[in-house]
Amino acid sequence: LESESGIRNYGEFVERAADLVVSYGGSLSGEHGDGQSRGALLPKMFGPELVKAFGEFKAAWDPDNKMNPHKVVNAYLPTENLRLGADYKPRESKTHFHFPDDGGSFAKATVRCVGLGECRKTHAGAMCPSYMVTLEEQHSTRGRAHMLFELLQGEVVRDAWRDDHVKKALDLCLSCKACKSECPTNVDIATYRAEFLSHYYEGKSRPWHAHCFGRIDRWARLASVAPRSANFLSHAPGFGHLLRSFLGLPKERSLPRFAGRTFQSWARTRKVSAPWASNSPASTTIAGSQVILWVDTFTNYFHPEIGRAALEVLEEAGFQVRVPQSHLCCGRPLYDFGMLDQAKKYLIRVMQSLAAEIDAGVPIVVLEPSCASVFRDELRGLFPKDPRAARLREQTFLLSEFLHCHAGGYKPPALNRKVLLHGHCHHKALMTLSHEEALLRSMGVELESLDSGCCGMAGAFGFEREKYPISRAIGERVLLPAVRRAAPETLIASDGFSCREQIAQLTGRRAFHLAEILKLAATHSRSTNPEP
């Protein structure tokens, strides 16, 4: 419906289709749409006398024609008042993302939304967390998609990429990616938001917290030189208060503490960070084959115990585990602030550093769902024609997926505990939680998998002062009350760093990564069944 001939053909088709439906005694619509898109066709179904009565009724009750003009009565033709039309010429800009599923066009991506309103649900699923607590259209997937559509139209939104109204609509987006899977047309607001912010801040400074949280890998590496001092200073009454003010943290939040020793440092003593042996088998089903364990920034600098547990689990499953010789970051935090130039550099470094492993087909086992989603999603959007990027995408697995589908006869040890499972948004949106659920059930645990949507933390989102009330409200919708109700002996499970941090800070309960639960089960099994 973007050309005169296309609109003409559409009009002729609709007229013929309506005649055919009426000839069989059918209805022009099954539920709704009579007044909006089919109003001009109603005389075919109801007849001129009844349609005239419609007009008289409206004239009596709405003499000034204020209520829904041109709907049902004096309705627009199907070819009039179109959203696009023959004059549709959106602004075209050079973008970082290539939008391979939309013909390389950001404009085509923004018109995916057809207004169904599935994003306005409030009681199930993950889409859309900010709408679920604000109930405001501008904070729904549909509202944001329409704002971006208007941005490219240039009629309502005048300032294009610099428009503050568009930014405000996108500010409360948690980049959870739920819309990419739960929206019937797969609108991807997280990607559109990152693209918008990259242009919005072009030529002007970002706030300080964007540089601090967006480049958390660099600050964490610096802090790892003296982690105790870093922890003391960041939590000390004087300096800590100044730091919190500088970062714009809410008083209710505390900064995560750095580990005393990084995973990378520990791995060097285990000699698992050696170069990949190119003559080793790369099969994912043969015992003794090699895998790369992707240790993300948060695992390396904040929770190395998760990396150690994962390494031990993979070794017990029969794999020879290697980790990159130097710490690599996928750049996930950069997307939250539209730092896409830097994000591309991070991905190029990853592909160069792991070139031999990628080319040989070695599986890359990831612990953090938001890192896996970079390789599964953003990587393709930024490098759609790069064969190495395509291979990396195919060779990336979450720990649960790898153990369940590619570890041969791996059978996890039994564990007689109840587990309350909260899935990370990216895990649910771009992959599936079913592998993790299957592994846990195979251990014999009593599993409760929550339909909890988003935890509300979403990386740096929950650490921003003005967003804290929304962050907490999202968590309080399902997740946090469920954690508080759980018995003390129940294990809370979540693979996302942000999710575990939200749970810890707002309930006082510790949440465990799958790797830790598997290690716990193995330790318990060895203690109850010692080798002779």
Residue 277 clears pLDDT 50, i.e. is over it: no
What six digits make up the tokens of 501?
């941090």
For the ranges 82-91, 119-128, 276-285, the one whose mean pLDDT is highest: 119-128
| Band of residue 283 on the pLDDT scale cut at 50, 70, 90 | very low
Q: What angle do CA 20, 23, 27 make, to 5 degrees?
A: 80
Q: What is the mean pLDDT of the chain?
A: 92
Residue 525 clears pLDDT 80, i.e. is over it: no
Tell me how far apart the alpha carbons of residues 173 and 175 are, in angstroms, rounded to a whole number: 6
So what's the pLDDT on residue 275?
Answer: 52
Domain boundaries, the chain: 1-88, 100-200, 263-405, 418-528
Residue 334 clears pLDDT 70, i.e. is over it: yes
Residue 104: how many other CB atoms lie within 10 Å: 13
| Mean pLDDT on 56-81 | 92
pLDDT in tens, 110-140: 999 999 899 999 988 999 999 999 999 999 9
Residue 359 clears pLDDT 60, i.e. is over it: yes
pLDDT in tens, 190-204: 999 999 999 999 989
Top pLDDT among 374 and 284 is at: 374
Residue linked to tokens 């369940």: 404
| Mean pLDDT on 77-102 | 88
SS3 label, residue 320: strand
pLDDT in tens, 295-307: 999 999 999 999 9
Residue 187 clears pLDDT 50, i.e. is over it: yes
For the ranges 277-286, 422-431, 517-526, the one whose mean pLDDT is highest: 422-431
So what's the pLDDT on residue 280?
Answer: 45
Tell me how far apart the alpha carbons of residues 355 and 97 are, in angstroms, rounded to a whole number: 23
So what's the pLDDT on residue 170?
Answer: 96
Query: For 418-528, CATH number?
Result: 3.40.50
Total-model pTM: 0.89
Three-class SS of 360-422: HCCCEEECCHHHHHHHHHHHHHHCCCCHHHHHHHHHEEEHHHHHHHCCCCCCCCCCCCEEEEC
